[in-house]
Amino acid sequence: MQNLRKSIVNVGVRNKKLTRSIAVNSTITDPAENIQLKSWQEIPGPSSLPFIGQLFHFLPGGSLSDDLKIPETLYRTYGPIVRIDGILGSPPVIFFIDAETTGHILRSENWLPSRPGFHTLAHFRKMIKYKDTPHLPTGLLTDEGELWKSFRSTVNPILLQPKTIKLYTNILNEVADDTIKRWRSKRNDNNMIDGKFDVEVNLWALESIGVVALGGRLNCLDPSLLDDSPARRLIQNVHDVFVMSEKLDFRPSLWRYIATPNYKKAMKCYAEQLNLSKYFINKAIEQNKNKVGENKDEKGVLEKLLEIDERVATIMAGDMLFAGVDTTANAMIATLYFLAKNQEKQDKLRDEINNSSMERKPYLKACLKEAMRMMPVVGGNLRKTTKEYSVMGYKIPKDMYVTFLHQFLSNLEEHYPRPKEYIPERWVAEKTDPLYHGNAHSFAYSPFGFGVRSCIGRRIAELEMETFLGKVIKNFKLEWTGGTLKKRISALNYIIGPFNFIFKDV
Ligand code: HEM
């Protein structure tokens, strides 16, 4: 996962060699297409000054100083392919704002795609925790190439198996009920939730992914949770891990050269995450010991991972906690916001929830999809090219950082008519309807990424969010007061306060 400006500044110094080895202004002919290809260095992009390069554009007052407007400004000023030079020693990144080219590259990469990102976590797992077993995988977020493939093919059949994920329906319902109960008790006289609403949603998300990753309830919604309890420590740890990764992986840092205080803190956090995962997994093993003669089909994710081995289960639990809390929480807040602002859609959703006996809830799914179209949690997909490309008249070398800005595309009129309006109907419309979602280019909407490297938690996230959204809308009439919702772009698109939700009883 990545964002725009941070990824520009922070993808690190790894591509320095590449930058030097490419001939400046070289014009290459693509024999297959018989056209003159320009060097990637000729791709349009912001102007540069000696020493500081393009940096001044990103500083206060610069044309790219507003994170939220960077894609729009890049597209309007430079077009669908933009070059951002390395800043302060970081490598250059090519931005693609074109669905067709995005599809072409992502499809061609679809063998062993490389997605750089979580360098400190990779460092911890490869150089510290598992340094004695370099031939074994360390996880989906930290491995590349054959090691990644071996881990992914081991866990894919477990985490993407609909039957296995469905086993969590009841327990996720329980988690949702408990969250609703908690929110009721936290409402003030104005029907607003006291305290930090984003923390509340994060607790729901952690409790939900916890039942899958750690095999049981963490009880983090329990108001009497003791400060030094393992669950409380895990809540803190999940938060710290993200903060540390953001500071070190997504901002300039000297950690590669010296052990900075943040580096030391990050290593501690990552160790604590695996230790806490182990603690909860052992607890689940203990609790399950007495269950005998179980039907194999009824085994959950953790039990199946443990059948492979404890290391795989612990690593996967760590990755699920890392990638599965802030993501679902922010997607949920965005959906609640759009429904609070669009009462008619909310009423229609409530009708479906209350009146449909069907297990399938097409409008509910459409409400989530539409929120992720307008405000995806991850605004672009990042890859490091595994081969050379000839696209849009340019030669893109192997090992180049490329980012595909799907959030910008999914908000364009040419793909989704009336893009600024929240219209869940487009996801259930007939083909003949001009709003029909299938008229958009298939690479214009990509909230869970693409291909073999796409989100492994997608089915889990969808079940969690569908379950919870159904409960919230059944129990509360949601309203929003005040200005528009605010976002902060970082490793993810974070929604930040004030959270002006009003939760009235239905
Ligand atoms: C709304 C919720 C979520 C969104 C929007 C989301 C989005 C994404 C995206 C965009 C990627 C990168 C895909 C690519 O590079 O093509 C990704 C990867 C990943 N996600 Fe999610 N995610 C969500 C929830 C979850 C959950 C609940 C889990 C926990 C199981 C999870 C675990 C992962 C992992 C482990 C990867 C790395 C996969 C790999 O590299 O093989 N995600 N996610």
Spell out the residues 6+ positions from residue 238 whose beta carbon is closer than 8 angstroms to its own.
202, 206, 273, 321, 322, 325
* Structure confidence by residue, pLDDT tens digits, 151-195: 999 999 999 999 999 999 999 999 999 999 999 999 999 999 988
Please answer whether residues 402 and 96 qualify as being in contact, where contact means their C-beta atoms are separated by less than 8 angstroms. yes
pLDDT of 201 reads 95
Q: 502 C-alpha to center of ligand 1: Å?
A: 30
CA atoms within 13 A on the CB side of 289: 6
Does domain 1-117+379-410 fall under CATH 3.30.43.20? My reply is yes
Ligand 1, atom nearest to 115 Cα: 15
**Is the beta carbon of 448 within 6 A of some atom in ligand 1?**
yes
**Is the beta carbon of 325 within 6 A of some atom in ligand 1?**
no
- Digits of tens for pLDDT over the chain (506 positions)? 334 334 333 333 233 332 222 222 333 444 455 568 999 999 999 998 877 888 888 888 888 888 888 999 999 999 999 999 877 667 889 999 999 999 999 999 988 999 988 889 999 999 999 999 999 999 999 999 999 999 999 999 999 999 999 999 999 999 999 999 999 999 999 999 988 899 999 999 999 999 999 989 999 999 888 888 998 899 889 888 888 988 888 776 788 889 999 999 999 999 999 999 999 999 888 887 766 555 555 789 999 999 999 999 999 999 999 899 999 999 999 999 999 999 999 999 999 999 877 678 999 999 999 999 999 999 999 999 999 999 999 999 999 999 999 999 999 999 999 999 999 999 999 999 999 999 999 999 999 999 999 999 999 999 999 999 999 999 999 999 988 999 988 778 889 989 999 999 99
**Amino acid (one-letter) located at 413:** E
Pocket test for ligand 1, best of 455, 460, 467 (most atoms within 8 A of CB): 455
pTM exceeds 0.85 for this model: yes
Q: 329 C-alpha to center of ligand 1: Å?
A: 13
Spell out the residues 6+ positions from residue 128 whose beta carbon is closer than 8 angstroms to its own.
267, 271
Ligand 1, atom 2, residue with closest C-alpha: 328
**Is the beta carbon of 241 within 6 A of some atom in ligand 1?**
no
Ligand 1, atom 17, residue with closest C-alpha: 455
Q: What is the DSSP letter of 126?
A: I
**Amino acid (one-letter) located at 316:** M
The residues pairing with 28 across neighbouring beta strands, listed in sequence order, are 37
pLDDT of 297 reads 57
Please answer whether residues 423 and 370 qualify as being in contact, where contact means their C-beta atoms are separated by less than 8 angstroms. yes
Domain extent listing, the chain: 1-117+379-410, 162-322
Q: What's the rounded Cα separation, in Å, for the pair 54 and 48?
A: 5
Peptide bond before residue 498 is cis, with ω within 30 degrees of 0: yes
Ligand 1, atom nearest to 209 Cα: 27
Establish whether 455 is an annotated binding residue. yes
Please answer whether residues 144 and 184 qualify as being in contact, where contact means their C-beta atoms are separated by less than 8 angstroms. no
